[in-house]
Amino acid sequence: MNDYQRVEQLIRYIDDHRAEQPDLDTLAEQVGLSAFHLHRMFSKWAGITPKAFLKCLNLSHARSLLDAGGSVLDTALDTGLSGPGRLHDLCVSLEAASPGEVKSGGAGWAITAGFADTPFGTCLIGQNTRGICHLSFVSSKKKSEGVAAILSDWPKAEIQWNDTQMAELASNIFAGPSDRADPGSLKALVRGTEFQVRVWRALLEIPSGTLTSYSRIAQSMGSPGATRAIASAIAKNSVAFLIPCHRVIRETGVIGEYRWGRSRKKAIVAWECRPQEQAQPSEGTME
């Protein structure tokens, strides 16, 4: 079991036992570690203490981030400029495949694809000369599902498998701003309807560390009655993390579902929204 799998297991346990407010010893027992080693593992993975991380998963904290994110998104979309949080975020530009390219299923394209480890489990990345055209999270035991997904998106493209090259790309995508080898922009190439692409472009304006809701995106796009259609478009996003559909939650502050797993969504949200403090491992404490 790797660190992310332990974190995912802990998130599920906390969700099921939130009313009991499990302490560090109880959480450590769930993943077969001592309290000291859990604290050290968690602090290394998240950069903060377990207690601070769990605070990021609380409903009240999600609501406060939601309130902050709403105003930032409105301003960004109104002015066409990214919010201040984007200075510390990945800069991703999005290009839509033409209707002819979508219809052809990527015929004549060469896509380099490969599996890579990330802070949130194994991912599959596909990239061609125009950008990253696929990024999904997969179970390390079910990689065939990832292969099926990229072939479904681009059934007639030539897939050239290169795990090493995609691992290098993943390390840049999932690194912190100060650790990123190439701080320049990344390009994503997507297939979707005009409406879906508009929604995905709106998602790119949500700064890391903030959240927004489906209804607020609808309002910002001038389509207040299109909340369900927007939720459907978000669910069809095939470029995980880079197009940050994980930053969209329910108006109530509930994190909600995610194409690649609800626990993974919670882990990404808490990881991005964590206080920027450094944890000092300590025996038997959540501090």
Max Cα distance, the chain (Å): 60
Q: 38 and 50 in contact (C-beta within 8 Å)? A: yes
Residues 6+ apart with CB under 8 A from 33: 6, 41
Alpha carbon of 26 to those of 32, 41, 56, 113, 283: distances in Å? Answer: 10, 15, 19, 40, 14
Distance separating alpha carbons of residues 111 and 91, to the nearest angstrom: 22
In eight-state DSSP terms, residue 82 is -
Q: Tell how far CA 27 is from the center of its chain.
A: 24
Could you tell me how far CA 26 lies from the centroid of its own chain? 28
What is the DSSP code (8-state) at residue 134?
E
Choosing from 56, 123, 133, 245, the catalytic residue is 245
Instruction: Classify residue 16 by burial, with Cβ atoms within 10 Å: 0-12, 13-18, 19+.
Output: exposed
For this structure, is 245 an active site residue?
Answer: yes
Dihedral of the alpha carbons of 184, 73, 272, 122, in degrees to the nearest 10: -70
Count of other CB atoms within 10 angstroms of residue 262: 15
Question: Please, which residues have CB within 8 angstroms of residue 30's CB and are 6 or more apart in sequence?
Answer: 9, 10, 13
Residues with catalytic annotation? 245
